[in-house]
Structure 1
Amino acid sequence: MALIKFPTKTVNTDSVNPFVNSVFDNLFNDSFITDRLVTRVPAVNITETQDSFSIELAAPGLQKSDFKINVDKNVLTISVEKKDEAVVEEKLYSKKEYSYTSFTRSFSLPDSVNYSNIDASYIDGVLAVTVGKKEEAIIAKRLIEVK
């Protein structure tokens, strides 16, 4: 199988109409548009130990009060909605951007979860949610003898 690299621009595109190309390049390289096209969902690490599940969500720049954690049936939902408006008077703006951060992550919980044993902490930009398991779901470790 051969890999063929296609050129990103045709040969005489800039000579035909350079104004059109520069307008489209500026439009699609503008941070206002590209920031809104990129989804801003925090990365998550999920681990399992013998007696609990751990969900770590990377969300720097937030406060503990920004998070809402809900459990509905077997779905754990973590959501944030934060709006920052920096108002500076006596300036003529050609471009003004508001910072608005919101996201929602939902996780399906297995039947082995103890719903009364769910804890959350937010330290150094990482939200850590610990979900305990039911006693009957915790598997006792033992050494099995080979016969």
Structure 2
Amino acid sequence: MPVRRANQTWLPSIFNDFLNNDWMVKANPTAPAINVIETEKEYKVEVAAPGMKKEDFQIHINEDNDLVISMEKKTESTEGDKGGKEESRYLRREFSYSKFQQTLILPDDVDKDKIDAKVNDGVLTIELPKRTPEEKEKATKVIEVK
């Protein structure tokens, strides 16, 4: 039978140090997962939002030109006898409240006037169309020096 030495605990420590990602910013564990996709014509942001409705979301562009996605859901779940003429009491009652906000820095080539959002099958999808090269030129204002 092998004898275990007290100083042989270094191996788990090395793996914990190597695999621990403290140097990476960790997201809130209750925050929904977010995908950001880029195509030639647009950026697409997908937010996992099971059970959420369009009324639960608020999306706007803030004063720093960042896209702010907020969602808030309040639900009440009850179990117990609520029927009949007799007085009822709760045997179990749960309140649920979730709130989330994510701010995304918008790339310069996003056409902010054409941003679209929809909720389908538990996923919030925000489409951020890119400006065409012609639209980019129009957006760049050249000031003539007199």
Matched, 1:76 2:63: no
Q: Specify the code of the residue in structure 2 equivalent to 1:3.
A: L
Q: How does 1:1-147 map to 2 (within 5 A)?
A: 3-4=11-12, 39-72=29-62, 73-86=64-77, 90-91=88-89, 96-136=93-133
Distance 1:135 1:127, change over 3 A: same
Distance 1:4 1:65, change over 3 A: closer
Whole-Å Cα distance in 2 between the matches of residues 92 and 124 of structure 1? 32
Unaligned stretches of 5+ in structure 2?
Answer: 1-9, 14-27, 83-87, 136-146
CA contact under 8 A between 2:77 and 2:93: conserved in structure 1? Answer: no
CA drift at 1:104? 0.6
Structure 1's consecutive aligned runs of 4 or more residues displaced over 2 angstroms after TM superposition are: 85-93
Distance 1:44 1:92, change over 3 A: closer
Whole-Å Cα distance in 1 between the matches of residues 95 and 120 of structure 2? 26
Q: Normalized against structure 1, the TM-score is what?
A: 0.62
Alignment coverage as a number of residue pairs = 104
Whole-Å Cα distance in 2 between the matches of residues 112 and 119 of structure 1? 16
Whole-Å Cα distance in 2 between the matches of residues 67 and 4 of structure 1? 44
Secondary structure at 2:55 match in 1: helix
Secondary structure at 2:94 match in 1: coil
Unaligned stretches of 5+ in structure 1?
Answer: 6-37, 139-147
